[in-house]
Structure 1
């Protein structure tokens, strides 16, 4: 009779799991507010309504950005599966592992599988881009930190206290030429922010589909592992080294 015993492995540490769920909730909230702002004209939002939606969007963005920053730092400090070496694709043996995984060799992985590393890297880049452009837009739209003070000083009319500027406030408080320059400065940031918004929607959809497919194909309790931190396999995972959790191929090699 075949051995059907299942082994439980500790994989995701607490900071990684907290990041995942805080990121999930904050991104979901940002998508909801973002869609309302994006369709504000069709929804008939007043200027006060737009300002409120943008304010809520920015506060959710702060949670998102701080959470992301903590995760990026934790990639230098966490367990083996939380670190950059287990996230970024590349290194000696990676190409072969990727091809084998795509062919469906049945290999189990504790951390991100070779294909998953590509997806996670793409998602992290998109999230970083959203955080950076969002912080700039928080300053240009509603004069919020970290750049809002500088933006307000830039566009305030002579003799006007920059701290008195409010979103959709009286135009008499603004220097018309400086305001137009600011809008031109803002334009590429809003375009990138919008494109990344739709890119993230696509990546999130692919992520969910990939998790479902990997769960069916390999098992390992991927979803529950983000709650418990543990995966369960009836075979030895590829990235389970004796006495340590480490990739089986050298990601640090040239």
Structure 2
């Protein structure tokens, strides 16, 4: 008869990052959609500034939380470290092959941390999250003159003799037309990346959720509950048990 054994999977910091990230993404997605379809929704300029301001504040929390996770990947527990997350390193290819064979044969070995496919997914998600954070911080400066680039942007677009701090979002009073056009050209690639990364994230998040459900059904172990408790439970030896 198999006996169940508990394993420490996710430390407290990793779990906090995950759920703060979930809340931020839900809020940012909702606010971003409202901003994107502002005309259809009848949003005024004042309303759009309010939406963007709220969006930016959630973006700051999102960016700080993401930065902390990046740091934690170097100092956290074994399962939180980048060596156990990114799909690189000696033996990863053979490990992925073995996992896929087991998956198709209906005999997968469970993992305390991320399994080889999950490592690919998490790495892709992190790349997109970083791209979204960086482009979002740039857009916060170009759209409503918020830090970290807001002061530089207002200094760039202010007409000669105009105090940059007097500029108001969505009001072109005191703005040099040529500088404004140059700033908008600078902004263009950032908004394009931000826009398409948003949709890419929606697709990957849907795949991620489906993968979590499938893994829970195939491997068991309390994968979902582990992101609350920090522990997984298996009736057989995990593939990554040290």
Does TM-score exceed 0.5, indicating one fold?
yes
The equivalent of 1:58 in structure 2 is 56
The runs of 4+ residues in structure 1 deviating greater than 2 Å are none
In the alignment, the residues of structure 1 paired with residue 90 and residue 152 of structure 2 have an alpha-carbon distance, to the nearest angstrom, of 47
Q: Which runs of 5+ in 2 are unaligned?
A: none
1:102 paired with 2:90, answer no
The equivalent of 1:82 in structure 2 is 80
User: What is the CA-CA distance between 1:44 and the residue it aligns to?
Assistant: 1.5
1:11 paired with 2:9, answer yes
SS in 2 for 1:173: coil
Q: CA RMSD in A?
A: 0.8
User: What is the CA-CA distance between 1:212 and the residue it aligns to?
Assistant: 0.2
Whether contact under 8 Å (2:85, 2:122) holds in the other structure is: yes
The equivalent of 2:40 in structure 1 is 42
Q: Deviations over 1:208-240 (max 9, x none)?
A: 000000000000101110111000000010111
The equivalent of 2:234 in structure 1 is 233
User: What is the CA-CA distance between 1:94 and the residue it aligns to?
Assistant: 1.1
User: What is the CA-CA distance between 1:111 and the residue it aligns to?
Assistant: 0.3
In the alignment, the residues of structure 2 paired with residue 202 and residue 90 of structure 1 have an alpha-carbon distance, to the nearest angstrom, of 24
The equivalent of 1:24 in structure 2 is 22
In the alignment, the residues of structure 2 paired with residue 145 and residue 92 of structure 1 have an alpha-carbon distance, to the nearest angstrom, of 41
In the alignment, the residues of structure 1 paired with residue 85 and residue 165 of structure 2 have an alpha-carbon distance, to the nearest angstrom, of 43
SS in 1 for 2:197: helix
User: What is the CA-CA distance between 1:43 and the residue it aligns to?
Assistant: 1.0
Q: Deviations over 1:151-183 (max 9, x none)?
A: 0000011121111112112x2310000000000
TM (norm. structure 2) is 0.97
In the alignment, the residues of structure 2 paired with residue 33 and residue 107 of structure 1 have an alpha-carbon distance, to the nearest angstrom, of 41
Higher helix residue share: 2
In the alignment, the residues of structure 1 paired with residue 148 and residue 60 of structure 2 have an alpha-carbon distance, to the nearest angstrom, of 10
1:196 paired with 2:194, answer no
Q: Which runs of 5+ in 1 are unaligned?
A: 242-254
The equivalent of 1:209 in structure 2 is 210
User: What is the CA-CA distance between 1:5 and the residue it aligns to?
Assistant: 1.1
In the alignment, the residues of structure 2 paired with residue 193 and residue 32 of structure 1 have an alpha-carbon distance, to the nearest angstrom, of 15
**Matched pairs, number:** 238
The equivalent of 1:222 in structure 2 is 223
User: What is the CA-CA distance between 1:101 and the residue it aligns to?
Assistant: 1.5
